[in-house]
Amino acid sequence: MRIALLGGTGDIGEGLALRFAHDTDHEILIGSRDPEKARNAVEGYEAILEERDVEASIKGFTNEMAADRADVAVLSVPPYYAGDTVDAVAEKLDEDTILVTPAVGMKGDEDGMHYHPPSAGSVTELVASRAPDEVPVVGAFHNLAAGKLSNLDREIDLDTLVVGEGAAKETVTSLASEIDGLRVLDAGPLANAAEVESITPLVINIARHNEELHDVGVKFQ
Amino acid sequence: MRIALLGGTGDIGEGLALRFAHDTDHEILIGSRDPEKARNAVEGYEAILEERDVEASIKGFTNEMAADRADVAVLSVPPYYAGDTVDAVAEKLDEDTILVTPAVGMKGDEDGMHYHPPSAGSVTELVASRAPDEVPVVGAFHNLAAGKLSNLDREIDLDTLVVGEGAAKETVTSLASEIDGLRVLDAGPLANAAEVESITPLVINIARHNEELHDVGVKFQ
Ligand SMILES: C[C@@H](OP(=O)(O)OC[C@@H](O)[C@@H](O)[C@@H](O)Cn1c2nc(=O)[nH]c(=O)c-2cc2ccc(O)cc21)C(=O)N[C@@H](CCC(=O)N[C@@H](CCC(=O)O)C(=O)O)C(=O)O
Ligand SMILES: C[C@@H](OP(=O)(O)OC[C@@H](O)[C@@H](O)[C@@H](O)Cn1c2nc(=O)[nH]c(=O)c-2cc2ccc(O)cc21)C(=O)N[C@@H](CCC(=O)N[C@@H](CCC(=O)O)C(=O)O)C(=O)O
Ligand SMILES: NC(=O)c1ccc[n+]([C@@H]2O[C@H](COP(=O)([O-])OP(=O)(O)OC[C@H]3O[C@@H](n4cnc5c(N)ncnc54)[C@H](OP(=O)(O)O)[C@@H]3O)[C@@H](O)[C@H]2O)c1
Ligand SMILES: NC(=O)c1ccc[n+]([C@@H]2O[C@H](COP(=O)([O-])OP(=O)(O)OC[C@H]3O[C@@H](n4cnc5c(N)ncnc54)[C@H](OP(=O)(O)O)[C@@H]3O)[C@@H](O)[C@H]2O)c1
């Protein structure tokens, strides 16, 4: 399968690229607004993987070209640019490209981080409303810290929640399950995304107030 | 210490009463609008504990009398009556009684449960605004399923999050930590309560969509 990470030059893009490259045989496509930046990022990721004798297929592209080639495209850009990025690649998407969003809208103040959803109810639903009608949208990976994913020395024993419907949700569930130590749980349809996204400011608050917890994730039991 | 469970005749009241009685030496006071109902509940809880040869100190009272005697009073009533119940016991509270709220405002539709906070931002903050100024308010226990607490055969390996400030938060942290298998994490001040309460509709959605998970709770790692 071809997995595109749009804005894959950033933190969560790096984390997902390294884990998918390390744990699976899928092709990874790093997208960027600037293809040169994408190729530089790929060099960095390959260097990390080579140290572990992992030969992976990772290539750098513009976001549009990455989306065009992808079976699954992960929108790894800041929440406020998620809509713009969907618009930018919309022509390259179709019913066979699953658009995955890990984006969370938050706002910080002196007390901590707070959930700050758009009027669509959640960033996941905003992305669904901006994507062409035929493109299946799935929410996933919201509650995984980029810092933990990117450090391949750190073992993962975490859950990720998926929201969405039908075959697209099943594909993303099975793909995400290929990351070692990641269990995928179904949180229902897109309408349930706000509660999934809300964990992110919470885990950031928990990391701030509890010394032993850093880059914290969640497990349901 | 004397722990009052206001509305302790209900589901979460039973769960907390049984766990505190089983795992600690504190005195448990069950409060109800109807003292006869409280005493009946106590008989039921004692019967469950006797089967395990646990002799505990549990007594039934009106909510007012339970609050009057308590060092810590847990507001174990439905969220929409939390404010009324604070008003009903307000005269019996003072700076030496910690008021603890586990209440969560939710709304269900065909998609699942959704977080539905009052205009105060969270039920926890609503309770704080209704309590007399000198009474310390702490949020805790929101994300523990009553069904799991009440069944003493089920081992707990879960986190609970506390929000609040100062000595009151420390007291509740140390008290809750006495429940076997429960780890207490600090989620910051009361202003961070909404993100804590939001996990509750999420875990209910997860229980609905994932067969092996029932009465699910959460662990941060
Ligand atoms: C905590 C980290 O700060 P940061 O790099 O700015 O990153 C802050 C957060 O964005 C980062 O923790 C995100 O992963 C938080 N986060 C999310 N952040 C988001 O913005 N959006 C998200 O959706 C999101 C999800 C998420 C899920 C789980 C989780 O645990 C965290 C999540 C840090 O270590 N900061 C240090 C310094 C940061 C730094 O530049 N360090 C240097 C090294 C400094 C040194 O080692 O001396 C470096 O990393 O190269 C500090 O604040 O003192
Ligand atoms: C899931 C349970 O339904 P229920 O007893 O109505 O309870 C539904 C929920 O209120 C209950 O699951 C709550 O614990 C959900 N819940 C909260 N519910 C809330 O209303 N507020 C909360 O703040 C809250 C927090 C919470 C935290 C964690 C968590 O995992 C769950 C949480 C159930 O088993 N239902 C059965 C039947 C219920 C029943 O009456 N069963 C009989 C026996 C039936 C038999 O065994 O045949 C019985 O228990 O005696 C069903 O729907 O088919
Ligand atoms: N950080 C985490 O731990 C974490 C965890 C889970 C989910 N998330 C979510 O993942 C998303 C990305 O987070 P991140 O921390 O990886 O962000 P980031 O590193 O700040 O940015 C990711 C990439 O977004 C692109 N970008 C920046 N501004 C843009 C704009 N105006 N328009 C289009 N693209 C732009 C950049 O790529 P180019 O310059 O190459 O185009 C950048 O490298 C966010 O929505 C976040 O909520 C983050
Ligand atoms: N159920 C869970 O798993 C769970 C888990 C965590 C937190 N919580 C929270 O804990 C609180 C209680 O939940 P629960 O499931 O235990 O509720 P519950 O069983 O439905 O009710 C608890 C008690 O509240 C009292 N009560 C009912 N209506 C009232 C009213 N109008 N005014 C004052 N008191 C009233 C009743 O006691 P009397 O008739 O004896 O007065 C009842 O036994 C809720 O806020 C909930 O969000 C629940």
Residue B110 pLDDT: 96
Residue nearest to atom 17 of ligand 2 (CA): B145
- What band does B44 get if pLDDT is binned at 50, 70 and 90? very high
Nearest to A185 among B157, B185, B206 (CB): B206
Domain ranges of chain A: 2-209
**Which atom from ligand 4 is nearest to the alpha carbon of B11?**
16
Instruction: Quote the ligand 3 centre to A67 CA distance (angstroms).
Output: 16
CA distances from A157 to A107, A123, A217, B53 (A): 28, 26, 9, 38
Number of neighbours of residue A107 by Cβ within 10 angstroms: 9
- Nearest-Cα distance to chain B for A185, in Å, is 7
Residue B208 CA to residue A111 CA, distance in Å, equals 33
Q: In the 8-state DSSP scheme, what is residue A133? A: T
Determine contact, residues A82/A127, Cβ cutoff 8 Å. yes
State the 10-residue block means of pLDDT for chain A, 221 residues long. 98 98 98 98 98 94 98 98 98 98 97 97 98 98 98 98 98 98 98 98 98 96 97
Output the ligand 2 site: residues, CB below 6 A.
B 104, 143-147, 200, 203-204, 207, 215-217
The rounded distance, in Å, linking the Cα atoms of B134 and A196 is 35
Summarised one tens digit per residue, pLDDT across range B77-113 is 999 999 999 999 999 999 999 999 999 999 999 999 9
- Smallest CA–CA distance from A187 into chain B, residue: B206
Cβ–Cβ under 8 Å, residues A99 and A109: no
Complex ipTM value: 0.93
Phi, psi of B134 (to 5 degrees): -80, -10
Please give the CATH number for the structural domain made up of B2-209.
Answer: 3.40.50.720
Does B161 contact A at CB distance below 8 Å?
yes
Q: Do A111 and B185 touch (CB under 8 A)?
A: no
Average pLDDT over residues B46-69: 97
Q: Convert the pLDDT of each residue in A186-196 to its tens digit.
A: 999 999 999 99
Distance from C-alpha of B21 to C-alpha of B42, rounded to nearest angstrom: 11
Give the whole-angstrom CA distance, residue B11 versus residue B17.
Answer: 10
CB distance B35 to ligand 4 below 6 Å: no
- Name the pLDDT band for B132 (thresholds 50, 70, 90): very high
Would you place residue B15 in the very low, low, confident or very high pLDDT band (cuts 50, 70, 90)?
very high
Q: Do B195 and A195 touch (CB under 8 A)?
A: no
Q: Which of residues 9-68 of B touch A (CB under 8 A)?
A: none
CA distance, residue A132 to nearest chain B CA (Å):
23
Sign of dihedral through CA atoms B16, B22, B25, B29? positive
Distance from CA of A156 to the nearest CA of B (A): 9
Can you give the pLDDT at residue A27? Answer: 98
